[in-house]
Amino acid sequence: MRAPRPASLPRVPAPVVSVVVPTRDRAVRLARLLEALRAQTLDPTSFEVLVCDDASADPDVRRVLDAVQAEGVLTLRVLLSDAPAGPAVARNRAWREATAPLVAFVDDDCVPVRHWLEALVDAWSAADLGDRDLAVLQGPVDPDPAEYPHDFGPFATTLWVREGSPRFETANIAYPRALLERLAGFDERLVVAGEDTDLGWRAVEAGATVVWAGDAQVHHGVVQQGPWGRLAKGWRWRYVPAVFARHPGLRRELELGVFWGPPHLWLFGGLLALALQGRPGVGWSLARWWLGGPYLRRLSHYRTGPALAPYRLACDLVEVAAIGTGAVRHRVPMI
C-alpha cells in the first residue's frame, strides 16, 4: 500500500524589500517607526524588517521589539550587539542577513509615510536602468510635522532632504543587495559620521545611477540633544574629511572649494572683519559689514537669539576644530 502523500505546505512569498534599522536607546521613537512600518500599504508578506540593536542600555528597547515580534504582523528579525560599535557596523550586520533583492535603510528617529516602501519599489521598477542592480534610490526627508516647528528649539536637530543629496543620508535610501555585496557595505572605520556619504559615492563611482523616489516620503524626528549634546555633536564631524579625501568629486559641495558649509565660511568672514577692526573710513566699514554681517545674522538666529550667541559660536568652533583635525589627518584642504 502506497503511503499517503504529505500535505503541501503553503508557499510563503519571498520579500521584495528588506528594511534595515540600526537602533540604540530610543525605545519610544523605535516604537513609532515600527508602527509606521506595520501600517505600510505594501503587503506585509512582501517585506521584512531587520533591526540591529547596538547594545542599548534601555531595557524598553527590547520590550518594544519583543512586543512587535509577538504580535506577528511584521516579519521582524532582531540582531543584538554585545557592545556598541556604531551605526555602520549595525547596518552591515543587518543587511547581510537580508533576503530581499532591495534593501531600504531608515533611521530609528524617523517615521515613513504609509506608501513609503511601495513608492521605493515602484521607483526601482520604473527606473530606466541598463542594470537594475546599479541603482541608488533616494527619497525626500522632512521634519516630523508632529514635532516641527514647535519642538525645534536651540538644542534640537532634524533633517531636510528635498532632492538627490550628495550626502546620501540613511534616513531614507535604498540599495540593491547585489550592489551592497559588491561594495562590501558601509566602511566601519567611519564610526559615527560619513559612512553613508562614502557608500553612496562608492556606488556612483562604481557606475550606479541615483534614482529620486519623490513619493517615498520619510519624516525625521526633532531630536532633543540638550546643550552639551548639541555642542559635542560637532566633534563627530572629524570623520568627514576622510570621505572628501577619498572622493574628489565631493569637493564641488564645499563653499569656495574649502569650507564645509556656509556657517564655516561666515565664521571666517566674521573673524576677518574683527581683524580689520580699527581701520578708518567708510570703505573699510562697508568691507567689515560685508565680511561679518552673515555671521552676525547667524548669531541672532531665531532658534538661539542674541542671548545664546556665545553658545552658537562655541558650537561652530567645535565643528571647525573637528573638520580641521580630520583635514590635517587625511591631508585634504578643507575647514
For the chain, domain boundaries:
17-224, 251-330
Cα–Cα distance, 335 to 324 (Å, whole number): 5
pTM for this entry: 0.92
CA gap 193, 88 in Å, rounded: 9
pLDDT attached to residue 243 = 96
Q: Which three cell numbers, joined as nine digits, stand for 188?
A: 566601519
* Structural contact between residues 245 and 331, judged by C-beta atoms closer than 8 angstroms: yes
What are the angstrom distances between the C-alpha of 11 and each of 8, 75, 121? 9, 15, 22
Share of the chain above pLDDT 90, in %: 87
Among 84-88, 230-234, 277-281, name the one with the lowest average pLDDT. 277-281
Task: Give the Cα separation of 299 and 234 in Å (integer).
Answer: 17
State the number of CA atoms in the 13 A half-sphere of 205 facing the CB. 13
Which whole number is the average pLDDT over 62-70? 96
At 148, list the grid cell: 516641527
Once rounded to an integer, what is the mean pLDDT over residues 140-162?
A: 95
For 31, residues 6+ apart whose C-beta sits below 8 A from its C-beta are 64
Name the burial class of residue 18, with classes exposed (0-12), middle (13-18) and buried (19+) by CB atoms within 10 angstroms of its CB. Answer: buried
Respond yes or no on whether the N-terminal peptide bond of residue 149 is cis (omega within 30° of 0).
yes
Mean pLDDT for the stretch of residues 50-54: 97
- Taking Cα atoms as reference points, which of 36, 24, 33, 316 lies closest to residue 192? 24
- The tens digit of pLDDT for each residue in 198-213 reads 999 999 999 999 999 9
Please report the pLDDT score of residue 281 as a whole number: 85
Of 106, 102, 154, nearest to 133 by C-alpha is 102
When pLDDT is averaged across residues 308-321 and rounded to a whole number, the result is 95
- The Cα 319–Cα 303 span in angstroms is 18
Residue carrying the nine cell digits 547585489: 178
* Average of per-residue pLDDT across 313-317: 95
Quote the CA–CA distance of 56 and 53 in Å, as a whole number: 6
Q: What is the mean pLDDT of residues 268-291?
A: 91
Q: Which CATH architecture has domain 17-224?
A: Alpha-Beta Complex (3.90)
Q: What is the pLDDT of residue 8?
A: 45
Q: Identify the burial level of 34 via C-beta atoms within 10 angstroms of its C-beta, where 0-12 means exposed, 13-18 middle and 19 or more buried.
A: buried
Say which amino acid occupies 56: S
Q: Which of 3-12, 250-259, 301-310 has the lowest mean pLDDT?
A: 3-12
> Residue 6: is its pLDDT beyond 60?
no
Across the chain, mean pLDDT equals: 93
Given a cut of 90, whether residue 191 has pLDDT beyond it is no
How far apart (Å, rounded) are the C-alpha atoms in residues 232 and 236?
Answer: 8
Q: pLDDT by residue (tens digit) across 238-261? A: 999 999 999 999 999 999 999 999
Nearest residue to 48 via CA among 19, 8, 25: 19
Quick one: pLDDT at residue 2?
47
Q: How confident is the model at residue 302 (pLDDT cuts 50, 70, 90)?
A: low
Is it the case that residue 43 has pLDDT exceeding 80? yes
What's the pLDDT at 304? 75
User: Among 28-42, 182-196, 294-308, which is the least confidently predicted range?
Assistant: 294-308
For residue 109, pLDDT beyond 80: yes
Q: Is the pLDDT of residue 140 over 70?
A: yes
Helix (H) or strand (E) holding 88: helix 87-95
Is 50 exceeded by the pLDDT of residue 334?
yes
